[in-house]
Amino acid sequence: MEPSALANVAADTTDPLAGLRAVASLRTVADMLEYRQVETAVGNGHTWTEIAAALGVTRQAVHKKYAKRLSPRSPR
pLDDT tens for the 76 residues of the chain, in order = 888 999 999 999 999 999 999 999 999 999 999 999 999 999 999 999 999 999 999 999 999 999 999 866 545 4
- The CA distance from 39 to 36, in Å, is 5
User: SS in 3 state form for 17-73?
Assistant: HHHHHHHHHHHHHHHHHHHHHHHHHHHCCCCHHHHHHHHCCCHHHHHHHHCCCCCCC
| Dihedral sign of CA atoms 19, 25, 27, 33 in order | negative
